[in-house]
Amino acid sequence: MKALITGASSGVGLGCAVALAEAGSHVVLSARNIGELNGVVDAIQSKGLSAEAMMLDVTNTNSIRESIENHDPFDILVNSAGLGRHSPSKDTLVEDFDDVMNVNLRGAYFVTQAVAKGLIKAKKPGSLINISSQMGHVGGIDRAVYSASKHAVEGFTKAMAIEWGPHQIRVNTICPTFIRTPLTQSTFDNPERRKWIESKIKLGRIGEVEDIMGAVVFLASDASSLITGSALMIDGGWTAD
């Protein structure tokens, strides 16, 4: 099996890549920084796992098409490239709105499209997984733009699942709560924000990258062969209210 993971140089994307590699997939890690990616790939290969790097700018549709078309079809996709620009809604800047939508929505949409085209042309089944968020189902303080982008990801995931079901291509989302990564550390360092987060998570702890790894292997495998158009919540009960 061959898997493409976007945003794979760190955080959730890297965790997903490692999980799939450990499960036996050949993983293609993609991001804009090829130098950083090469170091990550070397570390994965040093464990005897199969991996390679691919430079990919998800905000550039030509780059998406060319990079993905140059590969044999991917059996698995994990769209993990993401961006957050958080502020009160009344203070949202147009450039921040556009930057978030270009990565979280536009990029994810066209990467998913390109991978599906390859599978359909080759008449192969596949599992396409979008890393969404609990904020794709609820709202949050200072997160109107981010929440809008993830609600949109949930929408196109369902529509694509309907369209591509006859081709045996499954499309699902994983919806984490706040996960501890270098990019989210500043949020956890804010005592007020951390208190709010911990009050909403019913299991009483914030998420770790390891909490996502089992879920991505499940959705990528035949263990989830009848699951499509669904959202797998990994939110400690945040959205149970």
Q: CATH number, domain at 150?
A: 3.40.50.720
Candidate list 74, 146, 164, 178, residue with the active-site label: 146
Whether residue 109 lies in the annotated active site: no
Could you give the CA distance from residue 222 to residue 238 in angstroms, rounded to a whole number?
28
For tokens 């794979």, name the residue.
8
User: What is the pLDDT at residue 35?
Assistant: 86
Structure tokens that stand for 231 in this block: 């959202």
Domain count, the chain: 1
How many C-alpha atoms does 157 have within 13 Å on its Cβ side? 32
Strands 51-55 and 26-31, sheet pairing? parallel
Element (H, E) at 54: strand 51-55
pTM: 0.95
User: What is the pLDDT at residue 183?
Assistant: 74
Range of the domain at 207: 2-240
- What is the block-wise mean pLDDT of the chain (241 residues), using blocks of 10 residues? 96 97 98 90 97 95 92 97 92 96 98 98 98 96 95 98 98 96 81 88 94 98 98 97 83
